[in-house]
Amino acid sequence: MKILIVGSGGREHAIAWKVAQKDSVEKVYCAPGNGGTAVENKCENVNIEDINKLADFAAENNIDLTIVGPEVPLMNGIVDKFKSLGLKAFGPCADAAMLEGSKAYSKDFMKKYNVKTAAYEVFENKDEVLKYLKSCEYPTVIKADGLAAGKGVVICENYEQAEETVIEFMVNDIFKGSGKKLVVEEFLEGPEASILSITDGEIILPFISAKDHKQIFDGGKGPNTGGMGAICPNPYCTEEVLEAFKKDIMEPTLKGIKEEKLDFAGIIFFGVMITKKGPYLLEYNMRFGDPETQAVLPMMKSDLVDLILASLDKKLSSFDLAWNTGASCCVVAASAGYPGKYETGFEITGIDKTNRVFAAGVKYEDNTLKTSGGRVLCTEALGDTIEDAIERAYEDLKNINFNGIYYRKDIGRL
């Protein structure tokens, strides 16, 4: 089999590593991939990002399966394009990807199908939203409707901050169109969980739970990033929480997908907040999470390619999805200054002394691995307990060095 993976992050490196383990997989192309996939077993990077050119590549090279990592090509219809050419691609069609691409659409979907979520209002007019914000309770949550690279949600403590946020999003248009429509939402409190799942349109099969750490500094302080580390399973996801998640969130979502005819084979990643009143859905992501995938896939006992093929064949109901016991932890090493300005091009040393590294902002140049992004790489380790896994991931990370290396010291410590 030949597989094509679209994307260039740590998530895509983890997917490439996992699918390469299957004996019948002879080649894994990563488009564009990164310095980690450049040197991974069976992998080869191809420098293509345009959807039409990716489809041409898949057709010309007899690719058996394409797996799409990031949300932007999904929203731009990469799976629809591949399907129209008879090519096998795993991920939602553009209409289902809107469950991630538009917060207003996804909240309306949740409301219509009784998916448990925070109360909300949608606004497209500045004066109307400001009038509403004068009389609402604080804190309140303002969300840009469209994709905003993780910066589109602001928890406002008072009217002044809410007004400032509305001006930035709607008038100053800092997200270039994504903030023209706003969702104003009830503030919820509690630990968060990332529950990835796979669907074939007939059933949703949840994965083992995970928890990521979004803020840059220890103690959950500082600005949000793409994710500084993750653990799996999530200690807050008790049997009781998972039962409530299935009943109040997952099953109504499946009903909605069927009734709206959003038929697809892909990942649904539920961003959940576990409140005193049970789990509430914060958002859908219609793709693998990053860095959750780097912690979750090493825990997967089943073959990922077989799982994805079962999803594409609508045979998930008879698939025996198995997980390793124990726990997993991944810790991200970032460039100094990230998520603000940072420099790149520094040599990375010590990877050969580690057990497992997934690369993200890494390029392979002149036979050397160099930094090329904000989140550079993560070490990932399994353990009998979460404590073991955390300790091992940090032990490995001590071997890695590059100019300005920064990482949180408290991943997995809740």
Please select the residue that binds ligand GLY; options are 35, 36, 229, 289, rule is CB under 6 A.
289
* Binding at 118: pick from ligand GLY, ligand AMP, none (beta carbon under 5-8 Å per type): ligand AMP
Q: Closest CB to ligand GLY among 170 and 230?
A: 230
The count of residues interacting with ligand GLY (CB under 6 A) is 6
**Does 174 sit near ligand AMP (CB under 6 A)?**
no
Q: Is 337 helix (H, G, I), strand (E, B) or coil?
A: coil
Give the separation between CA 293 and CA 302, rounded to whole angstroms.
15
- Helix (H), strand (E) at residue 142: strand 140-144
Number of residues that bind ligand AMP (CB under 6 A): 13
The closest alpha carbon to 107, from 329, 362, 350, 284, belongs to: 284
Contact between 212 and ligand GLY per CB under 6 A: yes
Closest to 68 (Cα-Cα) out of 80, 84, 86, 85: 80
- Choose one: 19-27, 41-49, 288-296, 375-383; the region binding ligand GLY (CB under 6 A): 288-296
Question: Could you give the CA distance from residue 232 to residue 254 in angstroms, rounded to a whole number?
Answer: 24
C-beta closer to ligand GLY: residue 1 or 147: 147
Q: State the Cα torsion 389-393-395-400 to the nearest 10°.
A: 170
Window contacting ligand GLY (CB under 6 A); options: 42-50, 248-256, 286-294, 349-357: 286-294
12 part of the interface to ligand GLY, by CB under 6 A: no
Task: Please identify which residue in the block is written with the tokens 């290396």.
Answer: 405
Q: Which DSSP state fits 45?
A: E
301, burial (CB in 10 Å: exposed 0-12, middle 13-18, buried 19+): exposed
Cβ atoms of 397 and 333 closer than 8 Å:
yes
What does the per-residue mask of binding to ligand AMP show for 124-143, with x meaning CB under 6 A?
-----------------x-x
User: Of 145, 248, 290, 380, which lies in the binding site for ligand GLY, with binding defined by CB under 6 A?
Assistant: 290
The Cα 168–Cα 163 span in angstroms is 9
Contact with ligand AMP (CB under 6 A): which of 108, 121, 192, 251?
192
Q: Does 292 bind ligand GLY (CB under 6 A)?
A: yes
Does 108 bind ligand AMP (CB under 6 A)? Our answer is no
- Residue selected from 188, 205, 312, 336 as contacting ligand AMP according to rule CB under 6 A: 188
Is 156 a binding residue for ligand AMP by CB under 6 A? The answer is no
Among 140, 285, 354, 372, the residue binding ligand GLY under the rule CB under 6 A is: 285
Interface with ligand AMP, residue 336, by CB under 6 A:
no
Displacement of CA 270 from its chain's centroid (Å): 10
Local structure of 125: helix, strand or coil: coil
Smaller CB separation from ligand GLY, 163 or 192: 192
β-bridge mates for residue 328, sequence order:
232, 382
Contact assessment for residue 331 and residue 405, using Cβ atoms and an 8 Å cutoff: no
187 makes contact with ligand AMP (CB under 6 A): yes
**Degrees to nearest 5, angle at CA 216 with 213 and 217:** 95
Residue 177 beta carbon to ligand GLY: minimum distance, rounded to whole angstroms: 20
Where on the chain is the footprint of ligand GLY (CB under 6 A)? 212, 227, 285, 289-290, 292
Where on the chain is the footprint of ligand AMP (CB under 6 A)? 118, 141, 143, 153, 155, 185-188, 192, 271, 282-283
